[in-house]
Structures are given as structure tokens and as C-alpha cells.
Structure 1
């Protein structure tokens, strides 16, 4: 007896998505960007829903603690905070990203890593794939944090902040790690401006002598920064005219990762 919920070979897969749940999750994601609160009218406009639909969903989520309301302003609720403390933000992400990194590493024949954002100023390097070269960079990065100003991924995070926030975050004089480390905050800000213009960051002998890295942002469909994708290798090889091609591959792979993460 064939199973009743199976799909015949060649038949189009039915859409089993619950649209109301998707809309509710979209509202929660937008609420997360407004910790001081936002009105239902503004919220509906931001996510492209009608006000009655947004209000009905918010009311339902308020009743179970996922949303709080004060003076007609909505914020994430206590239940979201409780679940957030229980959740592992890297769970399942590495498994989705790893096959993409493996293919990418073989394409450019260098070591590549993916870092997942933990906050606006913190990241966790959760996945790495190595090249087949004898001389390569490997097993140095996973679950290690480096100073934002001396990290290709860190510079991607800094570029997502405004200049005032960076000035608040970093001292005028930064601690040198190598002789090439940027130690002047003003000089670093100029480089961050270049990162925003160019769409990628570079790390040139600033963390370790002879080490060169280039990174791009991985963003979701709404432009929210999910993390950074980085290619790393010896500086002479990475800078030998290959950089434009590597950057192009990085952007293409970043889009694949964003799609894999939904």
C-alpha cells in the first residue's frame, strides 16, 4: 500500500508552508531590530503587511509571551528571551555551511572560513574548509576570536556600524600584533570606509607575518548581517593578481550560504 502523504514521481511538491507562521516570524525578526519598541503601523509598513494582519499576529504572540506591549509600542517578549538563552546559535548552521565551504575551498585552492555573528561586535568562526595545497592555512580559526581591527571578519562587522559607534568601541591607539597592524583608530576608520565602498575587507600581515585574508559580508534577504566569509592564504600567493577573482568567488559563495541559511 503506498503512503497517502507521498508525492507521485514527477508531480510538483505541494507548498506545505504555513503563511501565518512565516508572517509572525518576520514580525519577530523586525521587532529584534527595534529594542526600544515600535508601533504596529510602523512594523506593518516595514515588513509589508497590512496593519490588521500585523495587529492580529502581534496580539496572538503577546498572549503567549513572545511579544510585549507598552504604550502602543511593541518589543520582543520574555518568552523570546528565555528561549534565546536556551538556544545554541551555531546548532545546525555548520552542517548547512560546511559543504558549500568545501566546494569553495577547492575552487580557489585556499583555506576558507565562515563566521556567524553573535552580536554587533562579536562573531564565532564555526566552519572551515582547507585547500589541497601543501602550504596552506588550516585549523587555526574555528571558535577563536581575534581583535576586530586585526581580523578580516572583524572589519566586516565594523563596517556594519556607524563611525560614532566605532569611536565609542575602540580606543584611539590600538594594540599592535605585528609591525603591520593598524594601531591608529583614524587610519582604521579610513580603511573601514574603503570596506564599505569596495564590498570586501582585507587583512594584510596585520595578524601574523605572511598571512593575507579577504572577507565579504553574508547577509539575509533583508540585508541583515549574518556573518562573514573569508579566504586566507600566504600573502605572496593571495596578492599575485588573484584577488579580484577571489573576491568574485567570495560574493557568489556568500549568496549561496545566505540562501542555505534561509
Structure 2
């Protein structure tokens, strides 16, 4: 595959779009509280159940999900709990990480599509710790605990920043690819451009031309990354994060993402 392919679609006026930062909540408790939470988490995760599927479907306004669902509350390393769900089953997985103003339900249609026999998909809501990369690492670690040894990291905005940065240091589970939707630069102390030298896995970097610095960041990450398989896709307009998956270019963006995941984690 060519080193970098850049596809610019449409022409529009440049416009800077600010990135909303997440609310931060102070953590509570010390070692005892963290230990008690960890024990509670361990007791709550017992494999896929109908109750978990019903809970997720009701929470997100969905109907029959068609795949096994496991409720996965876990502790993200800061003494704060994370609310997550795992769809599907198998030794390979996809971690979906939100942007600041969305919730796990925004990923559910894709997670349900990409999960199944041989592949798990994890969707989760942040614990509001300030380091998005550590959030991604903690989520991937939960999949490893369930037997997953290879993952694709998919993130939007904040989640894209966290996924790109986390991928440079993660060892287990191994990172088979990273898909970034509208990664920005310099977010809460993280900048994927500075860590791009560690991105030696396949990359899909999507952005809108007029969405602040997102297109520039995508190109710069691709330029600095040692990966031999990266694609930069720049669409016209202002769509940011998961909004790329809807609207005028939504179908194309969804197909690109699905092909990328399938190529990185081929189904048997």
C-alpha cells in the first residue's frame, strides 16, 4: 500500500472549530475505596446475559441486538468506575472510545455490526479522568482479561486522541490497527503528532476539511508515523467525530471504517 493517500472532497471556507472539553469530577476515596470497587467490579462481570442485552437495548433505544452482550463495569485505575458493555465473543476485539459530548450509545450500531463470533466490541463511558490514553488502555485491558489478544482502537475526537497515543505504548493486547475520527492536536496534554513515531500499525485517519485542525492533524500523524499502511480521508464540510458517520459522506465513512476493521481483524 502506498505510504499515504490523501483524498480531499469538496471545497469550503476554512473555519476553526473548538473542541469542547469534558467535565472533570474529583475522585473520592483512597486505597480501601479502590479495593472495594475492584472487588465489586469483579463480581459484576459474569459473561453475556439476557439482562445485559435488555439493559443496553433499553438504555440506547435499540431493539434486539442479535449478539451476546455482557455488562462490564470496571475500575479505570483512578478509583472511578467505568460503565461498559461487551458485544460478541472471541479472541479479537474492537474498542470504541467516545468524543467528549457523546455516550456509548452512539457507537452501538457499529459495535453491533462489527461484533460477532470470533470478535468482541467494547463500548464504554469515560470515568472523567483527564488522560484519554489511559482510558483507552484500561478499556483494552478489560478485553484482554476476557481473553482478547488483538484489538483495533476506534476513537472520535477525544477518543481518537486517546486511541492514537495509547497505541504507541500498548503491548497486550496487541494493537492491530487504529481508526481516528477527527483527532485534534494538543488535547488535555496529549498530542498524537508528538507520539506518531510509535504508530507502526495500520492507520485510518478521517477528518473534515473545515473542522478546525483535524485535517491537518490527520495528515501530520500519517506523515510522521512509520506505518506502511495508512490512509488519510478528508471530507468536505464541518462534520466532527461520530458526525462523520452520518450526513452526506456518512455511508462512505462507515464503509471505510468497516473495511478497515475487517482488514485489520479478518473474520474466519
Specify the TM-score bucket, using the shorter chain as the normaliser.
under 0.3
| TM-score, normalization by structure 1 | 0.27
| Higher-helix-fraction structure | 1
User: Relative contact order (alpha carbons < 8 A, sep ≥ 6): 1 or 2 greater?
Assistant: 2
TM-score (norm 2): 0.26
